[in-house]
Structure 1
């Protein structure tokens, strides 16, 4: 049991013939059960060809019909990425993971509204995210596989690099991970902290969770308030951007404090009031988690 993906998941790469798609499909295939998991690529112009033995199809629908894949990972450039997500949604995949950074916000607003209006079943992870990994089983995305270790700690993060930082610290302390999920830093995205917390809460193989947020928006507060009443497992937290001045955009498109809301201090205060132990020092995330076990 794991959340979102496991060793038996079958994966389609959308944008498999681009440089990024090729590189990461190759490294993901080399990790754990990747050889068996990556079963199809999609590129309408290259249908009928293959990438290192992976057949390329003209559409997601066709790739799903031929291979039984239920998940897609998207490395399509920003201008076409929302359309690529929609193609995965229209094919009724279980999960679409969009790695692409820089998708126009308007494209994402329209896409999310259309998914909601048509009541689509596909779960979206991302965009602008590192993906998801279930250690020693399967990795889908751009995270370095070697820092992960199988275990019982869940990690959910808006920041890619801080996901790796938390995982690296946990592994160094001998604490493996059940799954690590990067939800992405864009203001309009799919899964939120609260959605992933619910999954970890229901997962019998997760004992505790590291939740990493960033300035901007109110997703972390929403998740903390839910956790206060519903979470059966300890959660520790870190918020990036404690020193960020209001109104300044920091790295991610979603990381901007506006209207006095979304500051790191505010998020940390809400998390603490909801029983989540927090640290302001990113190098303490692993030790903080160990302290609540």
Structure 2
């Protein structure tokens, strides 16, 4: 019973051409996630090369906006690897495009910016996880974030945590049981999805 993220999810990466975006796109693909493209307005129209879980080469398109990425790929999840100064704009863009799930990995986002985009998200279609979080993983199905996909497999346990490293620790300690979904909601003073929501 995975929540929010399944093998059917189509994932885009905001900041796919940056250092963190590049590294973690590769790891998400390796874990079997259906990554369908990325967003970087300055590099729109280009592609990035990666390798999927089966070892096949894939070329992912880079789009000018989240709205364009959704239109062209049917994406329903976005993972944001965007520097703190640009995070609020990236989140607002994703909310305006009505992406179903937005996972904000960035740490160091000004609390006022988070409070503003949290308020902006109220009553809209986008569920925000983060910021300053390891993201969400449904082992054996998909990973949206930076959680190591190799520390636990699928099973009956659901996990919601504020701490990234404690998320990894619990997954590893309970690896013999396995997980439906593990969500790192982030440890900042203001976050999107809370323990109670999840």
Instruction: Report the TM-score range of the alignment, normalised by the length of the smaller protein.
Output: over 0.9
Look up the match of 1:42: 39
* Structure 2, gaps ≥5 residues long: 50-58
Instruction: Output one character per residue of 1:247-266: Cα deviation in whole Å (capped at 9) or x when no partner.
Output: xxxxxxxxxxxxxxxxxxxx
Q: Cα RMSD between the aligned structures?
A: 0.8
C-alpha distance in 2 between matches for 1:70 and 1:142: 18
Which one of 162, 166, 170 corresponds to residue 166 of structure 1? 170
Q: SS of the counterpart of 2:143?
A: strand
Q: TM-score, normalised by structure 1?
A: 0.64
Look up the match of 2:73: 67
**Structure holding more strand per residue:** 2
* Alignment pair present for 1:136 and 2:140: yes
* Alignment pair present for 1:183 and 2:185: yes
Q: SS of the counterpart of 2:150?
A: helix
Look up the match of 2:89: 83
C-alpha distance in 2 between matches for 1:151 and 1:114: 36
**Structure holding more helix per residue:** 1
Query: Which structure would you say has the larger RCO, counting Cα contacts within 8 Å and 6 or more residues apart?
Result: 2
Q: TM-score, normalised by structure 2?
A: 0.94
Question: Deviation above 3 Å: which 4+ runs of structure 1?
Answer: none
Give the Å deviation of 1:111. Answer: 1.3
Q: What pairs with 1:213-252 in structure 2 (closer than 5 Å)?
A: none
Q: What pairs with 1:105-116 in structure 2 (closer than 5 Å)?
A: 105-116=111-122
Which one of 122, 131, 156 corresponds to residue 126 of structure 2? 122
